[in-house]
Chain A
Amino acid sequence: MNFRVWGALAVAAFVIAPLIAHLMRRRPPEEQAFAATRLVPESPAIANRRTAINDRALFALRALAVLALAVLGATPLFRCQRLSLARKSGASVALAIVLDDSLSMRAQLPGKKGTRFAHAVDGAMELLGSMQQGDAVAVVLAGKPVRIAIAATTNLDAARATLEKAQPSDRGTDLNGAVRVASELVSGLEHVDKRVVVLGDLEDEPGPRVTLSPDVKLWAPLRELTGSIDDCAVVHADRSGSRVTVRVACTRGAAAAAATNPSAARNLGIFAGSERLAGGPLQLDDTAAELAFTLPESALEKHATTQLYAVLGGVDAIPSDDSAPVVSQSSRLRAAVVVDPANDRVPTGGAPLIEQAFRSLDLDVQLVPMASVPSQSEELTPLALLIVDDVEGFTPAERRDLGAWVERGGVLFLALGRHAAAAPLGSGFSPLLPAIVRWRVSPVKGLSRRDDALFGDANDGLDDLAPSGRALLEVDSGVTDLETLVRWADDAPFVVLRRIGRGVALSMTIPLSSQESDFGLRPALFSLLERVVHEAQARAGTGRTLVGATWPLAPLGSATARRLGRDKDIESVSIDVVAEGRELVPSLAGLHELVVDGVTTTRVAAIDEREFRAVPVELPTEAGESALGGTTAQVDVSPHVALFLLAILAAELLVRAAGRWRGPPVVRDEA
């Protein structure tokens, strides 16, 4: 109890003491023996007058005061449906709230008002309400990529303000990553009781079981947020001439419903404003479908400058994802892969490993295989990403063209092998990699576990990475902007990064060839490719990225952004200012108009199709433990009752003062 409660109790004691004395005085007198009782006259009139109520207002106030005191003594008294923490021996709690702000959380909650996300935010607020002084709280957003909304703090007001600002998004889900980050946020605290609370639909991409620190407990209280939803979304729509290809993804529930009832199939249309240019029924292939439509030439001429949209008819759980802008297919991210087929031969046949990896990742990348590095700068211009596997250096002309291309926003990924170390005279990698490359037998096995930000969970299998050799980098003197992302176990660089202008050049010290190492067969390759693709998408001028990807605008002057809706609705989009420059992180899918240093470009943020392939996460058994808390809380209303008592006291003083002002009460002698 705080000072207010104690103060109110003290005041209540002042009120109740005379009240008790008064009541005691009014108690029937004790019977006494008296010999001359026969001679004693009775005086019932006096007795009645004493028990009569002279001032009904004061009596009512006193009665209220007694009632309030009784309630105060009985608290905690009231039970209500709200999320609350259970405490062990009243100890402080370190709580990390994982708030899922992915697309699936925008679904309406059946039988209740509001979306899943709104309900989750309410639950987080209720949890904050049940926290006490000394408790620590952190908030992690589970939409992809995982973000720390607020690090562990004892400032509950700051956490509350953070939650109030939380907005739903069209992001994918990375629940496992969010739980892991949340666990790390609280595991270092000195609180004995550490918990991670997941407020979401508990669905994520198929993956390993959720892991967290041994001293941290996981709790998923809002099970009403779980369950499949019936939703279909237009993932993206590409146009190549008059042909429009639309990618549609549906949840398992919606796909099953469509399969059982073909007559209720939804329609997909291509719209220019309100005019439907083409369309047809949606026929799902498993949970996704790719439909192609040919637009009539007359309509193309008529709507040459109109933004087209692919719109899904019918009603589902999330209406906002039923349309997507149709973008020119040329705006798809083009990635070129320079691989020598002689070096990167796959024993089982087929395309090189890197190409197969791209296809399996389904990163919406237009892959262009190349046998050598483009010799003309015009060939580099349409590319957003260039992957070069173990070439014998670049000629000075190539280095100049590549350097200029990277400066304009290109992303170069170099895999260095024994060929890179055998560069002929005049060839090299500077300024993309300002170092001399030498090929040596690796003195150690595996990578350092300190740097697992790049590979994430995929880093677990890299302890025994044993290539036949590795590239040794002798960095030129005076170079300080070479950032090592991943190291070997002996601290030698494994992946380095250099930012050049708006672009970035990444270098890996082993080749992609499966003959040199098995790295290309490990999950880490996928993480690496995702990283470089995201870097490229973020820098691509007219590219389409997933919601949540960072757009590094790097303006010299001003930068503004706005989101264009299908009906020309314009929504403001915030621009995050970071130390490295100005970035924009679109949290909603759709067409965005960016004005950077006076140059207007458009970019598209698309929803992550993997969100529709999410499956329920397997949680530890203690996740549903009632010992961690519950949805039925005993609310301590002591402070409110105490304040009410103070109000009663003030009212009594006012009534007494008013009575004194009116003059003394007239005593009726009823005798």
Chain B
Amino acid sequence: MATTDGRPGQKLLPLDWGALAPLRIRAAAAAEGVYAGAHRSSRRGAGIEFGGQRPYVPGDDLRFLDRRSLMRHDRLMIREFETDTERALWLAVDTSASMGFRGGNAPGAKLAYAAVLGAALCKVAISGQDPVGLAWLGRGRSAGSSAESSLGRESLHAALGPAGFGGATFDRVVFALERVTAHGALEDDLDALDRQLTVLARRARRGSVVVLFSDFLDVPAAVLRRMALLGSERVLVAVQVLDPVEADFGFAGQVRLRSMEGDAVVTTDADRVRAEYLARLDAHTNEWRGAVEEIGGRFVRARTDEAPVEPLRRIVQAVREARR
């Protein structure tokens, strides 16, 4: 059970990967199970239009290096292109503290499980010639970053950049996911969260697939309003990652529970309130499910004690259904 010395979520702790490490191998194994039926991207076809330039970041495909800018301004710039039929995959991962929870029967923390799913999806997308982008929601920190720099800001402005192709992009995605750790509460900085969603909505062009990994337990209601922004002309798949303890309320007897985001503390008899809790969880989940489906998206629940390939298939299936 994930417990901390002080307030849960207030202390920066390494992510509990458990049996889900190493991420690259786990993701590759999961991706193997869903290659069948994957589409081929039409990105390389006619109609590609110049979409602008951006600064070069390590890992960018050098074929798109703008030589004229280099010679004229002595700056490394990358040329970007747009297409009407872009099938870019955007992975949005909730890095709030609650995603760091790991129950006793789970192979790893929820964020680690989401990372496996995300990396596997990345692998699948890369193999289908689709570009992949990564974005963070929340104030989760990179294990190697300074205390002041949040992953969200870092990723959206410098680290990941736009969706990319090929193995290099996969490497970058895996590299970023391996360094992430859960921290903070989404509610603490709603403006930042709003900015993160806005930037994600701008980056993910029409036709993009946005897969949002979160437990949707402490996600503020303001995010619901932004769902419409993401769902418009995009394929939105919300993946709710739950620990078995959360899904089944696997406590017994008298328990005293403290929320990982916020100050809520509850003392209760687990056996007595289990049914009511499960009912509340279902109601809460259905509320999100309804909101997502209302804007044409799909809602998928994944338990961290499942083999990653199962929810991965459900996610791919949900993407297909949403595209129809």
User: Which of A's residues lie within 8 Å of B, judged by CB?
Assistant: 28-44, 46-47, 50, 671
Contacts and interface: CB of A to CB of B under 8 A. Distances in A.
A33 B258 contact: yes
B254 interface: yes
B3 A32 contact: yes
A40 B274 CA distance: 8
A438 B157 CA distance: 146
Given A35-B110, A40-B249, 19 more contacts: A29-B255, A29-B256, A29-B267, A31-B265, A32-B257, A33-B260, A34-B260, A35-B215, A35-B218, A36-B215, A37-B258, A37-B265, A38-B218, A39-B281, A40-B257, A42-B268, A44-B267, A47-B254, A671-B272
- 10 closest cross-chain pairs (CB), A and B: A35-B98, A33-B8, A37-B259, A34-B257, A46-B269, A39-B280, A43-B268, A35-B101, A29-B256, A43-B269
A46 B101 contact: no
A41 to B, nearest CB: 5
A27 to B, nearest CB: 9
A32 B257 CA distance: 5
Contacts of A44: 267
B48 to A, nearest CB: 44
A34 to B, nearest CB: 4
A48 to B, nearest CB: 11
Contact of B272 (A31, A35, A38, A46): A46
A33 B4 contact: yes
A36 B217 contact: yes
Interface in B239-268: 243, 245-246, 249, 251, 253-262, 264-268
Nearest to A39: B280
B198 to A, nearest CB: 26
B284 interface: yes
B273 A40 contact: yes
A33 B266 CA distance: 10
A37 B8 CA distance: 12
A33 B2 contact: yes
A28 B255 CA distance: 8
A33 B265 CA distance: 9
Interface residues of B, number: 41
11 contacts: A32-B256, A32-B258, A33-B257, A34-B101, A34-B245, A35-B215, A35-B261, A36-B281, A40-B277, A43-B273, A46-B254
A163 B22 CA distance: 91
A40 B268 contact: yes
A43 B249 CA distance: 15
A40 B2 contact: no
B12 to A, nearest CB: 15
A669 to B, nearest CB: 11
Contacts of B273: 40-43
B266 to A, nearest CB: 5
Contacts of B3: 32-33
A41 B259 contact: no
B151 to A, nearest CB: 19
B1 interface: yes
Interface of B: 1-4, 8-9, 98-99, 101, 110, 215, 217-218, 243, 245-246, 249, 251, 253-262, 264-269, 272-273, 276-277, 280-281, 284
A582 B265 CA distance: 96
Given A41-B268, A43-B272, A46-B272, A34 B280 contact: no
B217 A41 contact: no
Contacts of A33: 1-4, 8-9, 101, 257-258, 260
A42 B99 CA distance: 23
A36 B217 CA distance: 6
Given A42-B268, A43-B273, A47-B269, A35 B243 contact: yes
Contact of A34 (B254, B259, B269): B259
Contact of B217 (A29, A39, A42): A39
Nearest to B246: A36
A38 B264 contact: yes
Contacts of A36: 215, 217, 246, 277, 281
B254 A50 contact: yes
A671 B271 CA distance: 14
A37 to B, nearest CB: 4
Contact of A35 (B246, B265, B266, B276): B246
A49 to B, nearest CB: 9
A37 B284 CA distance: 13
Contacts of A40: 249, 257, 266, 268, 273, 277
Contacts of B284: 39
B303 to A, nearest CB: 13
Contacts of A34: 101, 245-246, 257-260
Contacts of B245: 34
Contact of A37 (B99, B254, B266): B266
Contacts of A47: 254, 267, 269
Given A39-B281, A41-B268, A41-B276, A31 B258 contact: yes
Given A41-B268, A46-B272, A35 B1 contact: no
Given A31-B256, A33-B4, A38 B268 contact: no
A329 to B, nearest CB: 102
A31 B251 CA distance: 12
Nearest to A38: B264
A30 B261 CA distance: 19
Contacts of A30: 256
A38 B260 CA distance: 10
Which of A29, A35, A37, A40 has the largest count of B CB atoms less than 10 A from its CB? A35
B101 A38 contact: no
A671 B3 CA distance: 30
Given A31-B265, A33-B101, A38 B254 contact: no
A32 B258 CA distance: 6
A433 to B, nearest CB: 105
Contacts of A42: 266-268, 273
B184 to A, nearest CB: 13
Contacts of A37: 257-260, 262, 264-266
B280 to A, nearest CB: 4
B90 to A, nearest CB: 24
Nearest to A40: B266
Contacts of B253: 29
B262 A32 contact: no
B18 to A, nearest CB: 16
Nearest to A671: B272
Contacts of B4: 33
Contacts of B243: 35
Contacts of A46: 254, 268-269, 272
Contacts of B272: 43, 46, 671
A31 B268 CA distance: 11
A148 B137 CA distance: 103
A447 B110 CA distance: 112
A36 B259 CA distance: 7
Contacts of B262: 37-38
Contacts of B257: 31-34, 37, 40
B149 to A, nearest CB: 25
Contacts of B268: 40-43, 46
Nearest to A34: B257
Contacts of B261: 35
Contacts of A43: 267-269, 272-273
Contacts of B258: 31-34, 37
B267 A32 contact: no
Contacts of B2: 33
A32 B272 CA distance: 18
Given A41-B277, A42-B266, A42-B267, A35 B255 contact: no
Nearest to B273: A41
Nearest to B7: A33
Nearest to B282: A39
A47 B270 CA distance: 11
Contacts of B251: 32
